Structures are given as structure tokens and as C-alpha cells.
Amino acid sequence: MANRGCGCKTPTNTRTTAAGYVEQSFDGGLTWERLIDDPRFNAPVFPPLVGIPIGDIPCAMAKSAREAARIEIQTLIDNSAIWDTVLTVAGVIIEFLSLLMGPIGRIVALLVTTLAYALWQFTRAAFIAYDWDSALEQFFCIYFCNIEPDGSWSEAGWQQAKQDIVDQMDGFGEVWFWNHVEALGPVGLTNIGLVLPGLAGDCDACACGECQDPTTSGSQAGENLIPRPDLGAGWWQIDTVERAPGGDDNFYAEVQFGCCLLQEYNVVAPGINAAPGNRVAIGCGGAPVHTGDYGTSNCVELVLFRSFGIATFQFRIADCP
């Protein structure tokens, strides 16, 4: 029974979305609700770093995250006994995550077991032979490039870090760090950057790209610009607004950012006769391009969406190649 007669509900189904969110259904899978009690998003956050200039906090935390990951990887390399079963491999990872998030619960344990099974299939010998030094440096920069200036982690940054791992890493490194970041969530990513303060080194070698979060301004700015990390890395949403009442009947939403790759876009709530392809785009450092459809996979610094009537646009951006 989904309801025990006490006013509480018992979930009938549980799933993890492609974006990493856990959802539950209470009606056999007809409708779904995001799980609120997920330690990746609501576990306690460690106290912030002290005595470090605010501009140096992201780099200090990236160094901590890299060295904490190195310690965990070295534990798996050094201890041959834990490779006897999937559960013993998972136990080491769960113990590590528990230090960062407290009791991790069955959802994160399931994610960890999936990772442990993948590692166990690859074998310890292959795990030892992998170039972990290079992978750790890649993770170091991915962490540094996606953390917030104040040292916190947003859901959008969490999504982008996973996408960067897919784009920049391969082999064991991609499998390990993608699943690890998935299991850590924003809270775990924040806490892993706070466990080893005061490490030497800098982040000058990390190239983070020029793409920045979009903003709106000017007479043609849209409304309700919000990130949509639930759709995946780099997704945003905005509504068009009429700017010339009684005039050309056009509704606009202008978004500006650093030089970004416009990967895709769509209309989810079109107005009357919405024209999603009728846009103005400005290439990075170039002039406006007026076309019926500027096209995706182009690097731009401004896009003006146009519709006839209020419409809601969703779009995805990323660093240019």
C-alpha cells in the first residue's frame, strides 16, 4: 500500500535520472517527485577555510580535493585484500564518502556499488597500471574551474564537472571521477575541498575557458532567467517579453555571456505562432548575424530569441573548443 493510513506515503518506485537526481513515485510510476532527503544536497557542510584570502579559496580547495582523492586511490592500490569482492571495494569508497557527508544512505550506496563493480571488473592490476597522476591533475583543474568564488558548489557546477570529466578524461579516470563526483554531489564536493587546507602549489596551469553564466540586460532582455541543472550541464531557461506593445508584435529574450558554444535550444512553452528559429546572434568578437536559424555548435557571446507571443526557451551552453 502506498498509504498506511497515517498520512504518510510509501514510495512504490525509485529511479535516478540521467542528470543524477533521485526521484520517487508513490503511484506505481505515473508521477515522480525528487527525493528531498539526499545527503549529496543536504548533509552538513564543513566550516569554511579561515586565514586565506577569498580570491585564493577556490585554488586551496582544489588542492585539497586532489590530495584527498589521491589518498583514496592509493588506499585501493595498496590493499590487495579489498579486491576480493565488489562489496569490499565498495566498503572503502563508502567509508571515504561517509567522512565527507555522514551516513550516506542507500541511494549513494547504490551509486558506489555500481562504481565498485566497474572497478572490480577491470581488476586491481589494471587499476594500478593506470596513469593516476595525470588523471588527478585533470580532476584538479575540473574542480577548480567549476567551484564558486566563495568555495561553495552549486548544482550547476556539479553538473558541469561531470560533463567536463566526460569531455576531458577517458579510461579508469573517467569512470572513477565521474562516478565519484556523481556520488559526492555539491555537499561532498564542497567538503572534500576543506579536509586538507594549506597545501602548497597554485592553479595557474588550469585553463577554465571563457564561457560565463548568461545575464540579461537592455531593452530586449527577457525575464525569469534561471539555471536548469536538472536537465544537465549548461542548461538555462528564459521567457520572452513584449518590448514594443502595439508595434511589431515581437517578443524577445536577450542573453549575454562570455564566448560560449551554443550547443542546443528548444521552446517548451510557445506563444501564439512562436518562431523559435528567428534569432539574432553575435559571434565572439564579431558582428550580429540575422538569420532564420543561426544554428547550434557555434561560438557566440549574445543570442536574442524571438517569438510571437510569450514563449519559454531552454538553451545549453559550454566552453568553446
Residue 304 belongs to what H/E stretch?
strand 298-307
Question: Burial of 283 by CB count in 10 Å (0-12 exposed, 13-18 middle, 19+ buried)?
Answer: middle
CA distance 228 to 129: 39
User: pTM score, two decimals?
Assistant: 0.77
pLDDT digits (tens, 9 = 90+) for 68-110: 999 999 998 998 888 888 888 888 888 888 888 877 777 778 8
Q: How far apart are the first and last CA of the chain?
A: 52
- How many separate helices (H) and strands (E) can be counted in the chain? 8, 11
Q: What pLDDT does 2 receive? A: 43
Q: What is the pLDDT of residue 4?
A: 45
Q: How far apart are CA 293 and CA 237, in angstroms?
A: 19
Query: Quick check: 46 and 194 in contact, CB under 8 A?
Result: yes
Could you tell me the residue ranges of all domains in the chain?
1-36, 44-192, 223-319
CA–CA distance, 280 with 236 (Å, rounded to integer): 18
* Strand 298-307, strand 22-25: pairing: unpaired
- Beta strands per DSSP E along 154-297: 223-227, 235-239, 241-242, 251-269, 279-283, 288-291
Structure-block grid coordinates of residue 80: 590487495
Q: What is the pLDDT of residues 264-285, one digit of tens each?
A: 888 887 655 555 445 677 878 7
| Backbone φ and ψ of 71, nearest 5° | -60, -45
Please, which residues bridge with residue 254 across strands?
221, 304
Q: What are phi and psi of 2, to 5 degrees?
A: -80, -20
- Intervals of the chain under pLDDT 70: 1-8, 244-249, 270-279, 286-295
Q: Directed axis angle between helix 171-192 and helix 86-101, to 10°?
A: 30
